[in-house]
Amino acid sequence: MEKNIAVNNAPGVAHDPLSAAENAASPLRSWLSVVAVATGAFAFVTTEFLPVGLLPQIAHDLGVSPGTAGLMVTTPGVVAAISAPGLMLGAGRINRRFILLMLSVLLLASNLVSAFAPSFGVMLLGRALLGAALGGFWTLALATAGRLVRQEHAAKATAMILSGVTFATVIGVPLGTFISGLSSWRASFIATGILAALALAAQTLLLPSLPSKAAIRFRDLTTLVSRRNPRKSLLMVALVFGAHFSSYTYIAPFLGQNGFSLTLITSVLLAFGFVGFVSNLVISAFVTRHLQASLFSVVVLLMLALFAMPLVHASQLGVTAMVIAWGVAFGAIPLCLSIWLQLSSPDLPEAGSALFVSIVQVAIAVGSFVGGVVVDAVGIPSTLWLGSALGLLGLIAIASFGMGNKKLDEILSK
């Protein structure tokens, strides 16, 4: 129940009575349109993090170091951080259906450019195309959910779209690594390109017209960041996501360096995604009642797992256990942080959503970039300790709001 409540109140979930009435005569088509957007979410997330499992092979074939190859994660993050609020500010009254279709076209182009990239520079161009589409897609996707079905089903529609993220984590990235093992990393990008094409075709056939009725103003963004607690919350989001991605980007090289075969790396990444999926389901049962304690606990687990991995590197069983603990922690973190941001911007939900997407992408970009610098300068284990240190800073940020607050929602909104 709590999960449904949280999703129903998610930033950017628009309740459009007119659209709901239009879709009432064809509920099956309405739900199929939600599936089309969820398929797009699956394709976007799989494409964004596909290089994580393929990084050693791509680095070798394109003649760059593993640290430099991490720019494949940094580049779309930087571009997406700009496109998330930028698209919402510039979209005006353009039909949202047209925008979603154009973003899916960019996703397809990104995969094709990456799949056939003759050099690392061209690869980064493909990844930049992904970033241009990524920020706008996530800013619009949740807002679209509430317009595709009747108002009372908006929460279920939003949850279905978010399930695309979960399945990409559990299935998409490990599957890309598996395909690479059977053929090559280029085949993995071709496969995600086919997935993007299917999502585009489904959206073209099934998405109804989604005329715009309002647009975010730049003043909404500045108003939100001028408030102390929302500003602290965004910093906390940046630190926690930075802790994860400064390390996660280089998990495949770390595992390979410690004797894990490609097949075993695929299995470990699959386990990471699976336990994250279970963790998300479990914590949704009580996160709204114990938000701060839940977030603090999972960030502690994240910090300890990252710190311990280099210490147990001689034991594949020990490393695998730490990766699974890490998966448990990160599986719960996005849900906790998204609810936290909802509470910090109740009067400006769309602005809060755009800034949340932007800050997450900045954290991904900066975290993977700094992690790459550390990898090339000091070695892969050091970037795990960097992630642990950022996790500690995230804990300090969480504690700065005061632990054990029963009126956390009132505190955050000030």
Domains of the chain: 2-412 (1.20.1250.20)
Amino acid at 60: H
pLDDT for 409 equals 57
Q: Whole-angstrom Cα distance, residue 99 to residue 96? A: 5
Calpha distance 362→381 (Å, rounded): 23
- Per the model's pLDDT, the better-predicted residue between 397 and 11 turns out to be 397
Strands (E) in 120-159, as ranges, are: none
Structure confidence at residue 3 (pLDDT): 38
Give CA separation, 259 vs 262, 264, 309, in Å. Answer: 10, 9, 14
- The pLDDT of residue 70 is above 90: no
- Contact in structure between 248 and 269 (CB atoms under 8 Å): no
What value does the mean pLDDT of the chain take? Answer: 83
Contact between residue 332 and residue 281 where contact means Cβ atoms under 8 Å apart: no
Q: Which amino acid is at 325?
A: A
Q: Of 9-23, 60-74, 114-128, 396-410, which gets the smallest average pLDDT?
A: 9-23
Alpha carbon distances (Å) from 278 to 68, 227, 237, 271, 339: 33, 35, 22, 11, 18
Q: Which residue has the higher pLDDT, 165 or 133?
A: 133
Q: Which amino acid is at 66?
A: P
C-alpha 301/C-alpha 284 separation (Å) is 17
Phi, psi of 44 (to 5 degrees): -65, -50
Q: What is the pLDDT of residue 413?
A: 56
3-state secondary structure of 168: helix
Alpha-carbon distance of 68 to 285, in angstroms, equals: 41
The answer to whether the beta carbons of residues 22 and 33 sit under 8 Å apart is: no
Would you place residue 407 in the very low, low, confident or very high pLDDT band (cuts 50, 70, 90)?
Answer: low
Q: Choose the weakest-confidence range: 42-46, 146-150, 274-278.
A: 146-150
Ranked by mean pLDDT, the top range of 71-85, 205-219, 279-293 is 71-85
Instruction: State which amino acid sits at residue 262.
Output: L
How far apart CA 403 and CA 292 sit, in angstroms, is 7
Give the per-residue pLDDT at 344: 81
Q: What's the confidence (pLDDT) of residue 167?
A: 74
Q: Give the CA-trace dihedral at 249, 252, 258, 261, to 10 degrees.
A: 180
Q: What is the mean pLDDT of residues 38-63?
A: 89
238: pLDDT strictly greater than 80: yes
